[in-house]
Amino acid sequence: MNEAGEYRPELVQLSDVKPRQLEWLWLNRIPLGKVSLLIGNGGQGKGLTCCDLAGRITRGRAWPDDLQTPQPAGGVLWIGSEDALDDTLVPRLMAAGADLTRVQAIKGVWATGEDGSCRLESFSLTADADALRVAVESVPDCRLIILDPLTGHLGRADLFKDADVREAMAPLVRVAEEYRLAVVCIVHLRKAASDAAIHRVQGSVGVAALARAVWLVARDPADPEKRRRVLAPVKANLAPDTTALAFTVEDPDGSGPRLHWSADPVDVTADELLATPQRTGPDPERRDEAADFLADLLAAGPMQAKEVQRQAKDAGVAWRTIRRAGDVLGVKHIRRGFGNESVWFWSLPDEGGHGAADVNNVDNLATYGQAGVPF
């Protein structure tokens, strides 16, 4: 604004701008000088993935999709883990092989009150931009900032107001550009279902819009053992088409969980990983077959849920499909006993023959253990 109170734009002649080659922390996945997001539901492995990043960066180890190319070792700044530093974060970083002398965490920011007293306050992007710069300059060769989670450090900004989110995240964007480092923010997913993974990012559209790369960590629904997780691209503005990578969480020696990456890329999209249960559940024909199987199984009267599960497994019918078939049949679930001695029974709707009332006479059915599976 000039002295007369008028505003004038600041223009840049693009012919005066010197082109600069895009740099990557992890080639085609995490750019330097930019903000990236790591999204997913709780317990999927977002934090462990960040520990793996820190382990590779601080030791100069290669990335899992290019094991022949080592990288320069650098420092990591960790802001606000949801887990305790001493019994969770540090052991996990050690399990990931991180050089802890290259990792520093912001515990908080010292604030001076009007009376001259000092107190330690939580780090806030909206209030502590200067403290963020001081912290970055205190980490030698800092190459990565991890913000865990982003929503815990927005200060008074409203997560669901686009203007608030953009203003709060602006210091991250500026620091990433100024120091040529990568910023990875952990963000949870919205509860509501959506067709596109990009719309599942918690908060306003500004959260995902400001990020140059967005990656999803989710369990692979195609894995029958329920162990494999997938790192899948959601948004990659600066990279060519990027494939997903798979990993499992291992703890072979009891020292702590760590990632074991698969050597081969995975042919699955983020949208497919987050597909609604209606799209990933059994088809109607399988469900109807399971309903016939379950009806025959319960025709003689109530049966322990654990025995239902055992016979379904022997017959090659998935437990999830059996559960859906039970909903179709209107199966009743009755709990007998108390505490650790309680047992769940399944029963067809009472139609004058066998049914829920017969569960009171179940002595002959109590031969498969005391703890039945939940209904």
CA separation for the pair 333, 327 (Å, rounded): 11
Q: Which pLDDT belongs to residue 333?
A: 78
Q: Is the peptide bond before 277 cis (omega within 30 degrees of 0)?
A: no
Element (H, E) at 77: strand 75-79
Q: Which pLDDT belongs to residue 136?
A: 97
Where are the alpha helices (H) located in the chain, listed in sequence order? Answer: 46-59, 90-95, 129-138, 162-179, 205-210, 270-273, 277-280, 284-298, 305-314, 319-329
The ranges assigned to domains in the chain are 18-277, 281-365
Identify which of 42, 48, 63, 37 has the alpha carbon closest to the alpha carbon of residue 232: 37
Tell me the fold of 281-365: Arc Repressor Mutant, subunit A (1.10.10)
Q: Which pLDDT belongs to residue 3?
A: 61
Where are the alpha helices (H) located in 139-220, listed in sequence order? Answer: 162-179, 205-210
Identify which of 266, 265, 248 has the alpha carbon closest to the alpha carbon of residue 257: 248
In 10 A of CB 58, how many CB atoms?
A: 24
Token pair 């600066």 in the structure block, residue:
238
Instruction: Name the packing angle between helices 319-329 and 305-314 (round to 10°).
Output: 120
CB of 172 within 8 A of CB of 207?
Answer: no
CA separation for the pair 104, 102 (Å, rounded): 7
- Reported as a single tens digit per residue, the pLDDT across 153-163 is 888 888 888 99
Q: Which pLDDT belongs to residue 193?
A: 60
Taking the C-alpha atoms of 160, 161, 167 and 172 in order, what is their torsion angle to the nearest 10 degrees? 20
Selecting from 1.10.443.10, 2.170.150.20, 3.40.50.300, 3.90.480.20, what CATH number does the domain 18-277 have? 3.40.50.300
CA separation for the pair 289, 24 (Å, rounded): 52
CA separation for the pair 10, 127 (Å, rounded): 26
pLDDT in tens, the chain (375 residues): 556 667 889 999 999 999 989 999 999 999 999 999 999 998 899 999 999 999 999 999 999 999 999 899 999 999 986 678 888 999 999 999 999 999 999 988 888 777 778 888 888 888 899 999 999 999 999 999 999 999 888 888 888 889 999 999 999 999 999 999 999 999 999 876 666 899 889 888 889 999 999 999 999 888 878 889 999 999 988 988 788 999 999 998 888 899 999 877 788 899 989 884 534 444 566 777 788 888 888 887 888 888 888 888 877 788 778 877 887 888 887 777 665 566 788 888 864 333 333 444 443 333 333 333 444
CB of 49 within 8 A of CB of 245?
Answer: no
Rounded to two decimals, the pTM is 0.71
251 SS3 class: coil
- Reported as a single tens digit per residue, the pLDDT across 29-67 is 999 999 999 999 988 999 999 999 999 999 999 999 999
